[in-house]
Amino acid sequence: MIEELETTEPCTDCNEVSEEMLAEEMLAMEMEQRESDCSFLREVAIMQPREITNQTRIRVKGLAEQYGVSLPKNLQCSSCWIDTAVRVYKAIKEQYPDPVVIGEYQLREGVDVLWNGVRVNERTLTDELAAKWIAEGFPIEYFAKWK
């Protein structure tokens, strides 16, 4: 009789976690690690002075191997390591692009205008701003999608 019972809820006594919950947590941890890696690689790319430490080389090497990026031919060249860090960063962004969030409002392709001194394009548009601007008289024909 006990074998017939199935539950998707974690056990409160033993903190049992479902496979789905574990998968979600693992995905979140992987995303957090990728963001940490990208942050590190951005720092390397803008590093001044351009002298790379052995610790930085080791981390860039590990990330390069993980994401299939070739190592620099001259392992002593700091600029070569910085270039490698940039290539790794690009490889991460190609393999795991930032999620596209599509809101209630979407501008037509190529719209990039000034409205009351504010630049309006797909990067600056939020649902809240779109609703406010439409209420203020922003031309609706600039939108491909709206509420």
Look at the chain and report how many structural domains it folds into: 2
pLDDT of residue 65: 96
- Asked if the peptide bond before residue 49 counts as cis, ω within 30 degrees of 0, the response is yes
Q: Are residue 80 and residue 141 in the same domain, yes or no?
A: no
Of 147, 132, 144, 133, nearest in space to 106 by CA? 144
Residue 70 lies in a domain: yes
Residue 48 lies in a domain: yes
* Residue type present at position 100: V
Q: What is the pLDDT of residues 69-113, one digit of tens each?
A: 999 999 999 889 999 999 999 999 888 876 555 678 888 888 888
20 or 56: whose pLDDT is higher?
56
The mean pLDDT of the chain is 82
Residue 3 lies in a domain: no
Q: Are residue 63 and residue 129 in the same domain, yes or no?
A: no
Residue 25 lies in a domain: yes
Q: What is the pLDDT of residues 33-54, one digit of tens each?
A: 988 898 899 888 887 667 789 9
pLDDT of residue 91: 93
